[in-house]
Amino acid sequence: MSANAPIGARLAAGRRRLPSLSLLAAFLVLLPSCGKMLSPPPQPRTDGYSGLLTVRAGGAELAKFRVDVRGEALRRTTADAKDAPYFVRESAAGPVWEVDPASKSYREATEEALFAHLDDFPLGADFNHAAEANRRGITKYHRESDAVFAGNACAIWRYADDPEVLNSPTTTYWMAPALGGVVIRKVRTVPKDDGTEEVTYFELTHLRAGVDPEGFRVPEGFRKEGTGGR
178-223 pLDDT, tens digit per residue, is 999 999 999 999 999 999 999 999 999 999 999 999 999 999 999 9
Radius of gyration of the chain from its Cα atoms, rounded to whole angstroms: 27
Share of the chain above pLDDT 90, in %: 78
- What is the spatial distance between Cα 85 and Cα 197, in angstroms, rounded to a whole number? 34
Q: Judge whether 67 and 75 are in contact, CB under 8 Å.
A: yes
Supply the pTM of this predicted model: 0.80
CATH number for the segment(s) 44-224: 2.50.20.10
Query: For strand 97-100 and strand 86-89, is the pairing parallel, antiparallel, or unpaired?
Result: antiparallel
Strand partners, 60: 57
Q: What are φ and ψ of residue 9, in 5° steps?
A: -70, -40
Model pLDDT for residues 101-157, shown as the tens digit of each residue: 999 999 999 999 999 999 999 999 999 999 999 999 999 999 999 999 999 999 999
- What is the spatial distance between Cα 132 and Cα 74, in angstroms, rounded to a whole number? 20
- What is the spatial distance between Cα 145 and Cα 156, in angstroms, rounded to a whole number? 5
Model pLDDT for residues 27-76, shown as the tens digit of each residue: 555 555 555 557 889 999 999 999 999 999 999 999 999 999 999 999 99
Domain spans in the chain, listed from the N-terminal domain onward: 1-39, 44-224
- What is the spatial distance between Cα 129 and Cα 144, in angstroms, rounded to a whole number? 12
